Structure 1
Amino acid sequence: MTVRRVMGIETEYGVLATGPSGAARPAANPMLLSSQVVTTYRALVARAGARPAARWDYDDEDPLADARGFHVRRSAAHPSMLTDDPARPAPPGPAAEVARPDLEEADDPSAANCILTNGARLYVDHAHPEYSSPEVTSPRDGVLWDVAGERVMLAASRAASALPGGQGIVLYKNNVDGKGASYGTHENYLVDRAVPFAVLAELLIPFLVTRQVFAGSGRVGLGPTGDEAGFQLTQRADYIEAEVGLETTLRRPIVNTRDEPHADRTRWRRLHLILGDANLFEVATYLKLGTTSLVLWVLEHLDELADRGLRAREDLAALRLADPVADVQRVSRDIDLVAKLELADGRTMSAIEVQEAYAGVVARALDLLGPGPDADTETYAVLDRWRSVLARLRTDPQSCAREVEWIAKRRLLDGMRRRDGLAWDHPRLHALDLQWSDVRPERSIYQRLLAGGAVERLVDEEAVADAVHHAPTDTRAYFRGEVMARFPDQVSAASWDSVIFDVPGATALQRVPMLDPLRGTRGHIGALLDASDDVGALLAGLRGE
């Protein structure tokens, strides 16, 4: 048993323009602001010696494939779903065959896209700058390259704000704009395709609904526009409207059904989760990734566990919620952590009790199948931290204030309310909530707590600074990042599962497929990269010549 699997986080950042006095300019075009952030960072990296200006390769993307076994007609798809070709929205009228454009036709030289030397992608998605982390294999690395994304966004916004004749641009690592819009923090986990999607969704949903108790980042205001006074655990809860579904910007589901693995689809599926918050607390991100990975491991081994006498499938099925969509909001608004959720069989359990049941199944599975050669120390560390946080949330939630983000935020807000006699709908509380997630350290409330030692860190700044420029060494992100650093002028395009080279003297572009995320690592390709003076030599080595 192991917590390790290929995973990553995509974060859309809130964007705001400011005038010379620092006052907000809400009428500024967010698409333009986001494009300035991305293209300025691309130029900034170029001045540092690397030029990640390659196009994104959309050729292998298929966002309308549904894990339930069908394709959505392109003519029926909402334009926001067509991420494989943002220049071509869904055609009007009845269903029509839409030919996929070739690579040159699909590319827009002015498109705001940047493939980074750390293997990540920085681009504009739905009027927000998005940092999509490189593929990692552990929760701790997930934290490291997620925090590296915060530093990328800080550098990008500062550089864009300093442009002659430009305007101030401020970025926020949050999920709501306070006016009814929500933008996503999406998690991705590679899962064994042998697990039926229906089983995956059914047994995972109660866990996802209730993990808010330790993974929420906290929010002032209730309802999509935040008009109702109050505080809740998460920022995304008021925007979840379905149990499963393909959409990400409307009718948002607990479990997304996009069947786009960016890998060998005969072996894996990519579980795409869109209900989570953007976390600044590193322990919250660590637990979010780690506990989800542990539960997925159990779901991948249900038959083996049954053969060994553990009825994990039945134990988890017994946790099925009667109304999971409504419970997402119910858990988020239960700041005292005492509300009872109705289960499908008529019993009731609190969110913490549901989480404890999941942790118990994971622990029994580890005892039965572990430790084994795959059970590393991080597996036990995640499980121990998970159970410890749950126990303390049950008895003394304030003892989790260094690890659980919503608790720290609420404690700060409660202090302000008591000191100044403020109601939950006071504008100052909403302002503090926004300032919490400001990427600028001199303005960020979170960064002040961090500097004061009030937040537990899992990674250090030296490692973060390295992760800004260098990819994980144990996934294909290493190859993607290294060729962007070493041969930027010869990389014509790239995606998660391919790199396309423009080799001097060659008659055609040459694609290197990367359908196995665990190849292209430093151990696999590092020596060849070091021995290759140019792209031609690298490709010859890959071909075994």
Structure 2
Amino acid sequence: MSVRRVMGIETEYGISVPGEPTANPMVLSGRVVTAYALQQGMRAARAGWDYEDEAPLRDARGFDLARGSADPSQLTDEDDPTLANVVLTNGARLYVDHAHPEYSSPEVTSPRAAVTWDRAGELVMRDAVALLSGPGEPGVNLYKNNTDGKGASYGTHENYLMSRQTPFSDIVKHLIPFFVTRPVICGSGRVGIGMESKKPGFQLAQRPDFFEVEVGLETTLKRPIINTRDEPHAVTDRYRRLHVIVGDANHCDVANLLKMGTTSLVLGLIEAGAVTQDLTIEKPVATMQAISHDPSLQTKVRLADGRQMTAVQVLWCYHEMAEVWLQRLYGSDVDEDTAEVMRRWSDALTKLERDPMECTRELDWVAKLATMERYRARDGLDWSDPKLRAIDIQWSDVRADRGLFNRMLAGGRVEQLIDPAAVTQAVKLPPEDTRAYFRGMCLARFPREVAAASWDSIIFDVAGESSLQRVPMLEPERGTRAHVGELLDSSHSAQELLRALAQAAE
């Protein structure tokens, strides 16, 4: 075990039309997805999503929520009313979710790859904005953030594939303290305290104020720290997909890498039974909010055993357990991805203990706070000034010339881990070491024959066949370039590909 596992990031983007605050967000989001799909030559109204294996009401605690008791937002297995739901050639899904355009990255196997294809999503959304900003168009703005500052929140969800054999109770017990304290590293920063930002101030993360319970199935109401949706999109008796809804949308490469990498390591500890410290926290929801509200990082976390420590100290405990575990497994021969995450994790915690402002090049909330303090000093602004909220929104604007973060990135003021050329390439091409390769390449090579797709299937509509042909893809680490690259290269039509697949299965 290491930091490497199948993982991915889903990001709902904030959306607005300048000068039209009452514009219908679902219609707008549909326009965003459709405009991009048509520009790419995709049949946006036809080649859609295969919902056959979706099970959004299955709970990891061992039951299915009755459909009549579910909130409509939980019924993600229903057809999109905007018909804006497409699969991209890089293996990602672009669609409308809860009145927001969402980019769900393809499956990858490392934190660096997760950052790469997440940033590719930013370029997809930037292109969509440009397409809707031409002559005669009112224009649409998109924001990679998690709240509009007026009481609405939308998600950035992480997904990690893990062993089905791991007791879910262990996941809950050991992940809650980690998720409660993790915002000191991967929070995106926010102006305003409370769901509607009524209390002046600055906090570490955008999501904590919107959480109410420790464990639950919901994602848009009574939000839980641990989401229990049991929908693996893979072989059910082998895999569990941990659906994480507690995180922020990150712009900084380092923060995003640490978010994915440290979480993967903690999951590895839990799977291996290597969590040697009980870090159970009293009142986790209230504690997570208190931590987020304190940029000084001095808030004390009260553990169930009576100990008190800061969030940074709790994260040091997880780091130390990971270090011991990895040393026992690999000695000094740990893989490069894991070594990078451990090194950057230690570096970030050291700097945060010494002076958080040392992390302005690596962590979102620190970079944003430093920027806000410059505006405050220059213009004499109090935290209650609406100008600061406007600056907060502008920070996450996806446009290269308008987004404050994008301008900082272009100016070399934040650390960039991923080569921009690799990000541009990831807009079109899928990762090569998961089933996303097969999905993306089929869309690229046989777009007219792909009727629908999902994470674990592709449906072909081939001329001359009496019925649709469904190709299951339940193993996320099959369908890779190594596995099907030759077969794809030698197939000159979808029909040839299907025949070759049938022969290979015999």
TM-score of the superposed pair, with normalisation by structure 2: 0.98
Residue matched to 2:435: 476
Which residue among 165, 188, 192 is the counterpart of 1:194? 165
Which residue among 314, 329, 346 is the counterpart of 1:369? 329
Note if contact 1:10-1:185 (Cα within 8 Å) is conserved in structure 2: yes
1:224 Cα deviation after fit: 0.5
2:4 is the counterpart of 1:44: no
Residue matched to 1:412: 371
Q: Deviations over 1:244-267 (max 9, x none)?
A: 110000001111000000000111
2:288 is the counterpart of 1:353: no
CA distance in 2, matches of 1:7, 1:161: 34
CA distance in 2, matches of 1:331, 1:379: 27
Which AA in structure 2 matches 1:134?
A: P
2:56 is the counterpart of 1:63: yes
1:398 Cα deviation after fit: 1.4
Which residue among 275, 279, 282 is the counterpart of 1:313? 275
Which AA in structure 2 matches 1:42?
A: A
CA distance in 2, matches of 1:117, 1:212: 33
Which AA in structure 1 matches 2:39?
A: L
Change (3 A) 1:459 1:314: closer
CA distance in 1, matches of 2:213, 2:7: 24
Which AA in structure 2 matches 1:65?
A: R
Residue matched to 1:85: 78
Q: Deviations over 1:274-316 (max 9, x none)?
A: 11000111111100000000111111111xxxxxxxxx3341x
CA distance in 2, matches of 1:422, 1:431: 13
1:371 Cα deviation after fit: 4.3
Note if contact 1:45-1:51 (Cα within 8 Å) is conserved in structure 2: no
Gaps of 5+ in 2: none
2:188 is the counterpart of 1:229: no
2:263 is the counterpart of 1:322: no
Which AA in structure 1 matches 2:275?
A: R
CA distance in 2, matches of 1:372, 1:279: 31
CA distance in 1, matches of 2:434, 2:291: 36
Which AA in structure 2 matches 1:351?
A: A
Please state whether the residue corresponding to 1:407 is helix, strand or coil: helix
Please state whether the residue corresponding to 2:346 is helix, strand or coil: helix
Which residues of 2 match residues 260-299 of structure 1 at below 5 A? Answer: 260-299=231-270
Residue matched to 2:294: 334
1:186 Cα deviation after fit: 0.3
Which residue among 116, 140, 146 is the counterpart of 1:169? 140
Residue matched to 2:227: 256
Gaps of 5+ in 1: 19-23, 88-107, 303-311
Change (3 A) 1:368 1:238: same
Note if contact 2:275-2:321 (Cα within 8 Å) is conserved in structure 1: no
CA distance in 2, matches of 1:534, 1:300: 43
Residue matched to 1:150: 122
Which AA in structure 2 matches 1:500?
A: I
Residue matched to 1:28: 23
1:86 Cα deviation after fit: 4.4
TM-score of the superposed pair, with normalisation by structure 1: 0.91
Note if contact 1:240-1:328 (Cα within 8 Å) is conserved in structure 2: no
Note if contact 1:38-1:124 (Cα within 8 Å) is conserved in structure 2: yes
Which AA in structure 2 matches 1:222?
A: I
How many residue pairs get aligned? The number is 503
Q: Deviations over 1:30-60 (max 9, x none)?
A: 11110000000011100xxx65651200000
1:170 Cα deviation after fit: 0.3
Which AA in structure 2 matches 1:319?
A: L
Which residue among 178, 182, 197 is the counterpart of 2:149? 178
1:347 Cα deviation after fit: 0.9
